[in-house]
Amino acid sequence: MIPAPCDLGNSTESLKNSIINHVRFTLGAYVESASQNDWWVATCLAIRDRVMDHATKSRTIHRQSGVRRVHYLSLEYLMGRLLENNLRNSGLYDVTKQALSEMGKDLDELLESEPDMGLGNGGLGRLAACFMDSLSTVNLPAIGYGIHYEFGLFRQEFINGRQVEHPDAWMRDGSPWKIARPSYRQSIQLYGRVVQKFDDYGRPHYEWVETKQLLGLPWDIPIVGYDSHTVNVLRLWQAQADEDFNFQVFNEGSYVEALRDKAIAETVSKVLYPNDSTENGKELRLVQQYFFVACSLADIVRRFKVGYTLPWSEFPSKAAIQLNDTHPAVAIPELMRILVDLEGLEWEEAWDICQKTFSYTNHTLLPEALEMWSVSLFERVLPRHLQIIYEINQRFLEQDVEGKWPGDNEKKRSLSLIEERGGRYVRMANLSVLGSHATNGVAALHTRLLCERLFADFYALYPDRFLNLTNGITFRRWLDVCNPELSALITEAIGKDWKKDAALLRNLDPYADDPAFRARYAQIKRGHKAKLAEVIQAECGVTVSPDALFDVQIKRLHEYKRQHLNLLNIVTMYREILDNPDADFHPRVFIFGAKAAPGYFLAKNIIHAINAVAAKVNNDPRVGDKLKVVFLPNYRVSLAEKIIPAADLSEQISTAGKEASGTGNMKLALNGSLTIGTLDGANVEIEEEVGSENIFIFGLTVEEVTALKAKGYNPWDYYWANKKLRDTIDWISSDYFTGNAEEFLPLRRSLLDHGDPYLCLADYQPYVDAQAKVDAAYKDKDHWMKMAILNTARVGKFSSDRTILEYAEKVWHLPQVVVND
């Protein structure tokens, strides 16, 4: 007889028992001599035990109620650490801390020992992670699909100021959150060729034959929402070899492909590609994309067939599929292949199902980040999919485009799924718009630019398909977990409901005028600055004062994000301090965190330049405490959680029109850091929310950038017209900083000879002026705190719960399904 399931209980005693049992029975260790890692694993497992029932229950309720589910397809999930988030969200934080402490263990130390799950590059990957948290919190039936990378984003080290990459073996010591699901393993095909066959009525159909097989093993990670019993899962596919697999086909060189023959099939899920802006068209990347898409779709179709006996026309009423950028866009021809080739549907019906099922989020306007696969590569890896894409394209051009613009070949060229100039390429962005019922940008400005520029012709053809869904962040991780002191202060003032309804943060507004509240808010900020100062000391060997202004730029290293504009201002300040030692200038610490794509030469040169300037400034006795520059190595989610609560100033200084949204801007503002920024991405909406008196906006607008470029932008004009700028650039490219005047020539050349593509020189003086305003404002600490509090109070809009509920309402048409205890 099977006994009734027993409740594990959430008392201190029951947690102690669970943890000890895991130490003994799961890990086979003595409690007396268990390692730190053993305790961490045992604690994770004790918590996992308590959430798994809810995961099973959520799945059962979602299946039984037959509701539509959303399937989030993303090549990246930048989850960070899981234990603390799961403890806070499940309400088990205090009791676990108590249980461990009664056993002589410090929870904080255990939390610190958890490696980050860094399966993403930056914004897009972290957004997917925030969305997973919100989906569970607001009770939406959802599954995240991705790749179980053995190595996440590389670990960064600086050697002589230069970036060096190391593999990130995030699960070397085990990963207690993931559970293998071998019974849901999938087998997928690649390569081979297509044969046309005819049925008894002479109708043609296509078979994909002589293919290579690859197996996908799913790993599930439970996603615990805040104060909700919905536990959705993140399902990550690991590639495994099938006997038939031909090793020959993946034999290209370079960074990712450098792994050897023996386990070539497994290399498909070995490592995350570390580029987030330059598409390099590598075969292995296409194979990764198709591998995880094919496994995920097979899984979705399996669930549809098992759960229901419905006609295919009902598929979209059960499954919504969200494409996180174009990276999983091959899902569109894959679903067509399933429906037409395997299930025998007519083309029109299959296409209708596809469009109703898919929706697509665009995350970038940068032309070099738009995915295009060479037709010859695509044909070799996915021959049937290429045929399907051709068919989609032909019907589209002949019907929709010809219908709207008869005889207009220019329109056909611009809208075609195939780029014909300079070689033939499949345009994944066009495919994504065409194969979906909704395309969204991630901030109001970005969406406007999508409609006006990148997708102007598509927008003219299908205006109703485009919408804006401004990004958000989960306030649990980015306030409750990373800044529990501020979270508690807010809760004390306005109650705890803000954690589920971020709009309630507005109730904090009046507290900005309360001197006692301001003092406590300031004290919390200072506490975080003191802690960050310790991290800086340990990581960089630099002593910084928590009384200085902490000026933070943390994000991927990219020219468009303009870390080098920040550097120009720093060097200008450095000169000014030397020229004018008695000037009344508030001490400042410039803090950077950024990884550069390993092949992005100029980005690496900028990192080196910042480190070289830092080394000089920090050791110059004439400067003393007035100016410090630190570049914290290996920027990642867990480091962001330490920097963000300690920041006074948030650098959001991209060239207008280049940053789709930004989400670091939201995290920093929420934690009471004032923004110095351009009118780009979500900065525009942040200004609307916090008020222009509580933010430092400077620089060219999108329209001004366009006009300046149209007129003919020449950085030398700015160089010759501004002595300070000239001195700054010349100083950086002298031998002063490294002893070698050639060292930063690439940076100098990009700013001058190569035309300064991101207009640093044009925005230099406005930026320096805005920084002077920051300096003046910071001198009135009390008023600064008022502005900081108003930032916290007014950024409720940027909760990812709001974003997700908008997706659910406007794109997915999903019901909220409450899972009871």
Active-site option among 477, 667, 797, 802:
667
Quote the distance between the C-alpha of residue 254 and its chain's center. Answer: 25
Active-site option among 22, 235, 476, 561:
561
Is residue 763 a contact residue for ligand 26Y (CB under 6 A)?
no
CB of 469 to ligand 26Y, least distance (A): 10
Nearest residue to 788 via CA among 517, 482, 587 = 517
Residue in the structure block whose two tokens are 């004009």: 717
DSSP code per residue over 61-90: HHHHHT--EEEEE-S-EEEE--HHHHHHHH
**In the complex with ligand 26Y, which residue's Cβ is closer, 51 or 128?**
128
b/e 484-512 (16+ beta carbons within 10 angstroms → b): eebbebbeebbeeebbbebebbbbbeebb
Q: Which two tokens stand for residue 522?
A: 């300031």
Number of residues in the chain? 821
Active site residue 437: no
Site string for ligand 26Y, 460-489 (x = CB under 6 A): -----------x------------------
Sequence-distant (6+) residues with CB within 8 A of 448 are 441, 468
Active-site option among 555, 588, 658, 786:
555
DSSP code per residue over 481-545: IT-HHHHHHHHHHH-GGGGT-GGGGGGGGGGGG-HHHHHHHHHHHHHHHHHHHHHHHHHH-----
Is residue 283 a contact residue for ligand 26Y (CB under 6 A)?
no
Active-site option among 211, 267, 361, 663:
663
CB of 124 to ligand 26Y, least distance (A): 3
Q: How far apart are CA 317 and CA 332, in angstroms?
A: 17
**Rounded to 5 degrees, what angle do the CA atoms 121, 123, 126 make?**
80
CB of 629 to ligand 26Y, least distance (A): 25
Site string for ligand 26Y, 667-706 (x = CB under 6 A): --------------x-------------------------
Active site residue 50: no
Active-site option among 155, 178, 363, 528:
363
Site string for ligand 26Y, 634-663 (x = CB under 6 A): -------------------------xxxxx
Active site residue 305: no
Site string for ligand 26Y, 427-446 (x = CB under 6 A): ---------------x----
Q: Contact 596/277 with Cβ under 8 angstroms?
A: no
Please list the alpha-helical segments (H only) found in 274-320. 283-307, 315-318
Q: Contact 674/697 with Cβ under 8 angstroms?
A: no
**In the complex with ligand 26Y, which residue's Cβ is closer, 100 or 450?**
450
Sign of the dihedral through C-alpha 134, 140, 143, 145: negative
Is residue 279 a contact residue for ligand 26Y (CB under 6 A)?
yes
Q: Which two tokens stand for residue 202?
A: 């002479």
CB of 681 to ligand 26Y, least distance (A): 5
Residues from 177 through 236 that contact ligand 26Y (CB under 6 A): none
Classify residue 390 by burial, with Cβ atoms within 10 Å: 0-12, 13-18, 19+.
middle
Active site residue 779: no
Quote the distance between the C-alpha of residue 464 and its chain's center. Answer: 27
Site string for ligand 26Y, 358-397 (x = CB under 6 A): -----xx----x-x--------------------------
The stretch near ligand 26Y (CB under 6 A) out of 206-214, 276-284, 417-425, 538-546 is 276-284
Is residue 284 a contact residue for ligand 26Y (CB under 6 A)?
no
Active site residue 663: yes
Nearest residue to 118 via CA among 78, 154, 81 = 78
Is residue 274 a contact residue for ligand 26Y (CB under 6 A)?
no
Site string for ligand 26Y, 118-147 (x = CB under 6 A): ---xxxx--x--------------------
Binding residues for ligand 26Y, how many (CB under 6 A)? 22
Q: How far apart are CA 358 and CA 71, in angstroms?
A: 10
User: 3-state class of 378 per DSSP?
Assistant: helix
**In the complex with ligand 26Y, which residue's Cβ is closer, 230 or 803?**
803
CB of 135 to ligand 26Y, least distance (A): 16
Which active-site residues does the annotation give?
363, 555-556, 561, 663, 667
Contact footprint for ligand 26Y (CB under 6 A): 121-124, 127, 275-279, 363-364, 369, 371, 442, 471, 659-663, 681
